[in-house]
């Protein structure tokens, strides 16, 4: 890690902290405000990968993971109306999803980096975001994984409702996951513009 990597590290840490705070605030029926900040973690990882290479990108991911763990530890100590703001399942799902998806993003980006400029960031982010959503929501809320934290009642997430209020009936957490995934995919496309602009200004050093 060098001083040149510091902006990326600070950006990742800021996004993780902001997302952990904003996830407490609802946006409509299916989302939280954190859904709109967290996807930019992939943008930071991809910029670091393009400019400095996979090694520094993994360092930034590790910093983000550590910051996320610290946020989760703090959240478990803050008791809200329905108990701790962060349960063990949420903390486990969040950490596992972040680390797996971000490292997958780094690997896919590195494999595609010599193609057209948009292919590596778009494909790596789309796949990473999909894996991130699948891991987090299933670990945190799926009834089949209740053994992870038997004392944590997440039955509310298993309430059978039409998907996004329109589709076939499924557990509530499926609608939450689909809405979150849709935001990630949308922002993956939007993020191509700042990715192109920032990397063009910084140049490639790896």
- b/e code 52-64 from CB counts within 10 Å (16+ = b): bbbebbbbbbbbb
Q: What is the dihedral of CA 130, 136, 138, 141, to 10 degrees?
A: -140
Whole-angstrom Cα distance, residue 11 to residue 204? 19
Q: Which of 72, 71, 13 is nearest to 45 (CA)?
A: 13
Task: Note whether 129 and 184 are within 8 A (CB).
Answer: yes
pLDDT in single tens digits along all 206 residues of the chain: 678 899 999 999 999 999 999 999 999 999 999 999 999 999 999 999 999 999 999 999 999 999 999 999 898 887 666 567 788 999 999 999 999 999 999 999 999 999 899 999 999 999 999 999 999 999 999 999 999 999 888 889 999 999 999 989 999 999 999 999 999 999 999 999 999 999 999 988 76
Task: Note whether 105 and 46 are within 8 A (CB).
Answer: yes
């Amino acid at each position: 890690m060098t001083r040149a990597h510091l902006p990326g590290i600070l950006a990742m840490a800021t996004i993780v902290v902001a997302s952990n705070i904003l996830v407490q605030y609802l946006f409509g029926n299916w989302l939280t405000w954190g859904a709109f900040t967290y996807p930019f973690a992939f943008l930071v990882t991809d910029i670091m990968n393009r400019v400095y290479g996979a090694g520094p990108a993994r360092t930034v991911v590790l910093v983000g993971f550590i910051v996320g763990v610290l946020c989760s530890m703090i959240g478990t100590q803050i008791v809200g109306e329905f108990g701790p703001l962060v349960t063990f399942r949420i903390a486990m799902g969040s950490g596992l999803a972040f680390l797996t998806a971000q490292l997958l993003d780094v690997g896919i980006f590195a494999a595609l980096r010599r193609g057209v400029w948009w292919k590596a960031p778009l494909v790596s982010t789309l796949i990473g975001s999909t894996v991130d959503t699948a891991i987090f929501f299933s670990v945190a809320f799926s009834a089949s994984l209740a053994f992870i934290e038997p004392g944590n009642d997440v039955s509310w997430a298993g309430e059978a409702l039409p998907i996004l209020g329109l589709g076939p009936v499924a557990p509530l957490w499926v609608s939450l996951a689909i809405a979150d995934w849709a935001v990630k995919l949308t922002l993956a496309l939007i993020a191509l513009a700042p990715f192109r602009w920032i990397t063009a200004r910084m140049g490639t050093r790896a």
